[in-house]
């Protein structure tokens, strides 16, 4: 995960908008048994090493598009949400504590309420000219298709090149 560059902030960022009179939500830490504590620790270390955090003091309609297409393939995004930057001014709004310290996300995390919409918008922006004619995108699931094998292969090359150009990592 540490070698994921992430999608350029010029393409997409996740902003956290807060109403002027909103109050912060503070949740107390929950106790964990030793096994769960170790799982949390490993995840924290993985996110720290990848630069996702820093310490502080499948869809049915997608398959319908494949009807009549003889050739298709599926691609899966890798830690898709973690590839989208959270702007510096919004990071303090996305903090958490655990037995190993307090942390803030540098990149979008899975649990944010508008994260799915941000990610979908980003994918639509990256692949807008290919949607419907060569591929479909639903969150981090991609289907690439065409009537002939050669055309499908060509579309797959287009999609993979776009992923490479935008630093979008796939499984």
pLDDT (tens digit, 9 = 90+) per residue, 28-66? 767 778 898 889 888 888 887 777 776 654 455 556 667
How far is residue 118's CA from residue 105's CA, in Å, rounded to a whole number?
16
Task: Give the dihedral sign, CA 129/135/138/140.
Answer: negative
Residue 121: enclosing H or E segment and its boundaries?
A: helix 115-127
pLDDT of 2 reads 57
Contacts of residues 44-48 at CB distance under 8 Å and 24 or more positions apart, as own/partner, are: 44/98, 44/100, 44/103, 46/1, 47/1, 47/103, 48/103
0.85 surpassed by pTM: no
Residues 99, 29: contact at Cβ < 8 Å? yes
pLDDT at 58: 46
pLDDT of residue 129: 92
Write down the pLDDT at residue 65.
65
Instruction: Report the pLDDT value the prediction gives residue 26, as an integer from 0 to 100.
Output: 64
Q: Which of 4-18, 97-111, 137-151 has the lowest mean pLDDT?
A: 4-18
Domains of the chain, earliest start first: 56-166 (3.30.70)
């Amino acid at each position: 995960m540490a070698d994921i560059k992430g999608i350029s902030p010029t393409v997409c960022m996740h902003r956290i908008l807060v109403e002027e009179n909103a109050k912060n939500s503070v949740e107390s830490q929950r106790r964990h048994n030793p096994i769960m504590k170790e799982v949390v620790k490993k995840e924290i270390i993985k996110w720290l090493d990848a630069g996702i955090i820093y310490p502080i003091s499948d869809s049915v309609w997608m398959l319908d598009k494949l009807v009549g297409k003889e050739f298709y393939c599926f691609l899966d995004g890798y830690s898709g949400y973690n590839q989208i930057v959270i702007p510096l001014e919004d990071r303090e709004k996305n903090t958490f504590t655990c037995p190993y310290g307090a942390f803030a996300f540098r990149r979008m995390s899975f649990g944010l309420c508008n994260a799915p919409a941000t990610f979908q918008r980003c994918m639509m922006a990256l692949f807008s000219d290919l949607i419907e004619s060569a591929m479909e995108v639903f969150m981090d699931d991609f289907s690439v298709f065409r009537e002939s094998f050669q055309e499908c292969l060509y579309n797959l090359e287009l999609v993979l090149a776009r992923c490479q150009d935008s630093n979008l990592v796939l499984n």
